[in-house]
Amino acid sequence: MTTYIQTNKKVEVSNYPYGFTLKTTLFDYVEFHPKKGYRHCTQTINPKSGRLNNPKKSTYYALLFRYYNEVGHIKCLSYSFNGEKSINVACKFIGQNFDLFASEEITYLYNTCLTMSKVDLQACIIYCGATLEDLKPIYTDFITLAANGLKTNENNFLQMYLDPEKIEAAKKPDYQPFTVRSVQFL
């Protein structure tokens, strides 16, 4: 069973290797920014001076969380919100682990779901030849649930689902948005 770590919890790891022979204390945490997302950070204590070293920070991810693996080491996993399948996977994880996230993070995650579902909708229209009339019924429930969750901060993530089969059926077969029809030289 995987044990997830709350995003706002700072974990202290003692006897962490520092160089070849020394041991130190490591602090492992996730930094959250409401406009950028999550990034993993670690910070050690210099065993020679006893002072904190500068933190090491990863790049920002739309969703990042930590967990303990089988041997008790802290690992990270991230989710993106690119396309309906990854949006569904991220929403399912958030819904099942809603208590891992603070209120500000829930607001950010609902905003991200709203934004990326609208991006996915627009991409289906532009790059796949689908029409808004065909896609609107598929995306309406998802967007409504996300908007309501944004207002109430309640867990609507488990009900939020974009049906990939219906979206695929709305796309025009053999649609080529980048085909050059004619070239006119001056």
Taking only the tens place, the pLDDT of each residue in 61-102 is 999 999 999 988 999 999 999 999 999 999 999 999 999 999
- Residues 30, 65: contact at Cβ < 8 Å? yes
- Residues 60, 77: contact at Cβ < 8 Å? no
Place of tokens 């796309």: 171
Listed by start position, the domains of the chain span: 3-79, 84-170
Cα-based angle 77, 57, 107 (whole degrees, multiple of 5): 60
Cα-based angle 157, 119, 88 (whole degrees, multiple of 5): 30
Task: For residues 13 and 65, give the distance between their C-alpha atoms in angstroms, rounded to a whole number.
Answer: 17
- Residues 114, 143: contact at Cβ < 8 Å? yes
- Residues 7, 77: contact at Cβ < 8 Å? no
User: pTM (2 decimals)?
Assistant: 0.89
Taking only the tens place, the pLDDT of each residue in 105-164 is 999 999 999 999 999 999 999 999 999 999 999 999 999 999 999 999 999 999 999 999
Per-residue pLDDT, averaged over 27-48, amounts to 96
